[in-house]
Amino acid sequence: DQQVKQNSPSLSVQEGRISILNCDYTNSMFDYFLWYKKYPAEGPTFLISISSIKDKNEDGRFTVFLNKSAKHLSLHIVPSQPGDSAVYFCAASTGKLIFGQGTTLQVKP
Amino acid sequence: DAGVIQSPRHEVTEMGQEVTLRCKPISGHDYLFWYRQTMMRGLELLIYFNNNVPIDDSGMPEDRFSAKMPNASFSTLKIQPSEPRDSAVYFCASSFNAGQGYTFGSGTRLTVV
């Protein structure tokens, strides 16, 4: 049973526009949420995180939003750049990290 | 620090053969995790260790899979016998904390033919 779900396998946006990646979870006990970014032939790298006691965290072009009532997490990238093209994994923590399936983002020049 | 080091980077083996994947975590990290990446399920946690002791192996798919951590600087994931459905990318990660701050290795791409 998938506790963390990323229902969009892929997303394509134009350079300079906003990218919105979504993630849903089922376990209300998750206390920390993270986004990881993965380039081909490399391991995932940490991007941004948010505690369950907050609803927004911003770091430069990246903002993560948490809606606990909807059990929904989203990552906004503004403005999107071609170098942002990668696979993005949502993860949730309750003592260990549970990852989603990933969303492949393509930013077109 | 060179980060988390995994070997080999690629492994092609025949069905029925034994496969051993290796991982060297970052020095000082108390936690070590083995994940498997597939298209359908994304990154699945197979097993994790704390201070070399296996804590949770509920993600290990079946008895053909085993993992060991004989010391703080080395871990292995073994598949015996291997099957084509085991083909995937296997990642090792380490951290100071069980729920945050994971550093991943570059992965081992396993192909079982």
pLDDT tens-digit series, residues B39-72: 888 899 999 999 999 999 999 988 999 999 999 9
Average pLDDT estimate for B83-110: 94
Of B16-20, B56-60, B74-78, give the lowest mean pLDDT range.
Answer: B56-60
CB pairs under 8 A between A and B: 61
B7 touches chain A (CB under 8 A): no
Query: Which of B4, B45, B107 is the closest to A96 by Cβ?
Result: B45
Best probe of the B interface among A7, A39, A96, by most B CBs < 10 A, is A96
- Contact criterion met (CB below 8 Å) for B10 and B108: yes
Q: Is the dihedral of CA A7, A70, A60, A93 positive or negative?
A: negative
CA gap A51, A73 in Å, rounded: 11
pLDDT for the residue B1: 66
- What would the mean pLDDT of B17-44 be, rounded to a whole number? 94
Q: In chain A, which residues have their Cβ closer than 8 Å to the Cβ of B104? A: 36, 43-45
As a whole-number percent, the residues of chain B with pLDDT over 70 amount to 99
Tell me the chain A residues in contact with residue B33 when contact means C-beta distances shorter than 8 Å.
Answer: 96-97
pLDDT tens-digit readout, A30-68: 999 999 999 999 999 999 999 999 999 999 999 999 999
**Residue A18: per-residue pLDDT:** 98
Instruction: Say if the Cβ atoms of B99 and A96 lie within 8 Å.
Output: yes
